[in-house]
A and B are shown apart, each in its own frame.
Chain A
């Protein structure tokens, strides 16, 4: 059985957890353990066989398995312990974890904890699509696992609902495997994922995308036989008379990701209603002392490179906490989302410190000015919800801010008109 003398426990062995655990080891702490419910480390990277990973972190164009392997090897070299096929069934605010695996059930009391549980896909059920409940409806990520790991093709004629990155990547993947992707249906007036995926997955393979459309009905008894699609108005309501049927045997749902925070809720950790992840400070510390969080459990990222960096930040902070070093308390500043801003992570920061903010905008806009209170005002050619804006504040910039201020308003306003 695992030793009870643990410095840092990391919940989740995906890219955030791996980077965090590596960092803890690098800082010099001895006992770091990753608790992973799956059979192997690396999380979803193994099924993301396409390239485009690591362009920023490694300055190389890697596939998902290649990117993951680099971190897994490093973790192994450094002696990071991992408990595979192990489920965390309970998390308490005083940093107690209950785990369950084939050896039984036990409590661990690490000095610090890092939440790295990632996110899960929104399913057909969470979209409430009317119709029958036949076989042939998958989330894009499940289909990706079938096609890239297990070796099953989910169907022959496919409609994809939602133009998130996984949906577009699967549309290309299935087309290469000889499947007919009849359409991608997107409720928004713009493509949901990265522009490089729109070009390299859809345009390269002539896959049609129908913007401002949705699936209004799923048909078929045993197996999907067709879906009905319709145009939507600006409030996403189907417009009567625009319905048409598309014959298909499979519907893939690629309609967004939700941070997986059952454990955080159990521990009473404060969650941000917008990100649906823990509220964190500049140390990636949650509202519970000594419990840190990183990656898609905090907010859904578009690039794994950013997840790794966040993991490292959480790892460095958790190591500091486990060593008993006080987290320096300075004047707290709350970041507030203003015009065209959906969220900012971290939600609170310490005055005077260098920090990288992850800013997600609400709507696509061109020729804008991104403002962080008085501290920063930068012109940007374009912003899009699918592409995170990173803002690095230097310690020098804080000098521009008057004393007594405890809030920074972040806005993204038009430079024209």
Chain B
């Protein structure tokens, strides 16, 4: 059985919640939270710790960079791999905010979209 600590980000309390996880990856016990919402957050964060990925892309015209994001959160373990892909991209203007640049990037199910316009 493994133990894992997740800090709840729901309120300024920042509870350090300890999870006891069995060998099949199921939660056996959860302690340290002070509310129901915190419990739900920690379970969700344990099962799928996801983040919106944001970065910038160089433009072929030079000058100001293009801000990009994923249109939905991706697993946090994939953020660095996504960055490696995005670092190689070059976009030619015009690009409009919301435009899809890389559909289903790295098979995450999320699209990489422009979050600013150039």
A interface residues, Cβ below 8 angstroms from B: 46, 49-51, 61, 63-66, 69, 147-151, 176-177, 195-196, 198-200, 203-204, 364, 366, 381-384, 386-387
Q: Contact at B12–A63, with CB atoms within 8 Å?
A: no
A-B contact pairs, 9 of them (CB 8 A): A46-B116, A63-B67, A63-B115, A65-B97, A148-B56, A199-B9, A382-B11, A384-B12, A386-B12
Contacts of A151 in B (CB 8 A): 56, 58, 65
Contacts of A64 in B (CB 8 A): 67
Nearest B-chain residue to A381, judged by Cβ: B13
Contact residue range for chain B? Answer: 20 to 34
* Given known A69-B97, A149-B64, contact A387–B12 (CB-CB < 8 A): yes
Contacts of B58 in A (CB 8 A): 151
Which of B24-32, B47-55, B102-110 interfaces with chain A?
A: B47-55
Q: Which of B12, B51, B76, B116 is A364 in contact with, Cβ under 8 Å?
A: B12
Contacts of B64 in A (CB 8 A): 149-150
| Complex Cα spacing A416 to B9, Å | 24
Nearest A-chain residue to B58, judged by Cβ: A151
| Complex Cα spacing A177 to B80, Å | 9
| Complex Cα spacing A222 to B14, Å | 42
Q: Contact at A148–B65, with CB atoms within 8 Å?
A: yes
| Complex Cα spacing A258 to B11, Å | 26
Q: Contact at A195–B54, with CB atoms within 8 Å?
A: no
Q: Which of A50, A147, A148, A366 is B13 in contact with, Cβ under 8 Å?
A: A366
Contacts of A386 in B (CB 8 A): 12
Q: Contact at A65–B12, with CB atoms within 8 Å?
A: no
* Given known A65-B67, A65-B115, A204-B76, contact A49–B7 (CB-CB < 8 A): no
B interface residues, Cβ below 8 angstroms from A: 7, 9, 11-14, 34-35, 51-52, 54-56, 58, 64-65, 67-69, 76, 79-80, 83, 87, 97, 115-117
Contacts of A204 in B (CB 8 A): 51, 76, 79
Chain A proximity of B76: nearest CB distance (Å): 6
Contacts of A384 in B (CB 8 A): 12
Q: Which of B12, B65, B69 is A195 in contact with, Cβ under 8 Å?
A: B12
Chain B proximity of A415: nearest CB distance (Å): 14
Contacts of A366 in B (CB 8 A): 13
| Complex Cα spacing A383 to B14, Å | 10
Q: Contact at B97–A381, with CB atoms within 8 Å?
A: no
| Complex Cα spacing A198 to B58, Å | 28
Q: Contact at B115–A196, with CB atoms within 8 Å?
A: no
Nearest B-chain residue to A365, judged by Cβ: B12
Contacts of A199 in B (CB 8 A): 7, 9
Q: Contact at B54–A63, with CB atoms within 8 Å?
A: yes
Q: Contact at B56–A66, with CB atoms within 8 Å?
A: no
| Complex Cα spacing A386 to B56, Å | 28
Contacts of A176 in B (CB 8 A): 55, 79-80, 83
Nearest A-chain residue to B57, judged by Cβ: A151
| Complex Cα spacing A366 to B58, Å | 46
Chain B proximity of A174: nearest CB distance (Å): 11
Apart from the given pairs A49-B68, A49-B69, 8 other A-B contacts in the complex at a CB distance below 8 Å: A49-B54, A64-B67, A66-B116, A176-B83, A195-B14, A198-B7, A383-B12, A386-B12
| Complex Cα spacing A386 to B13, Å | 12
Q: Contact at A196–B9, with CB atoms within 8 Å?
A: yes
Q: Contact at A51–B69, with CB atoms within 8 Å?
A: yes
Contacts of B117 in A (CB 8 A): 69
Chain B proximity of A55: nearest CB distance (Å): 12
Q: Contact at B34–A381, with CB atoms within 8 Å?
A: yes
Contacts of A200 in B (CB 8 A): 9, 51
Interface centre among A64, A65, A366, A387 (most CB of B within 10 A): A65
Contacts of B115 in A (CB 8 A): 49, 63, 65-66
| Complex Cα spacing A347 to B77, Å | 46
| Complex Cα spacing A65 to B67, Å | 8
Chain B proximity of A145: nearest CB distance (Å): 11
| Complex Cα spacing A156 to B54, Å | 21
* Given known A49-B55, A51-B69, A151-B65, contact A195–B97 (CB-CB < 8 A): no
Contacts of A69 in B (CB 8 A): 97, 116-117
Nearest B-chain residue to A50, judged by Cβ: B54
Q: Which of B7, B9, B67 is A148 in contact with, Cβ under 8 Å?
A: B67
Q: Contact at B35–A381, with CB atoms within 8 Å?
A: yes
Contacts of A65 in B (CB 8 A): 67, 97, 115-116
Q: Contact at B67–A203, with CB atoms within 8 Å?
A: no
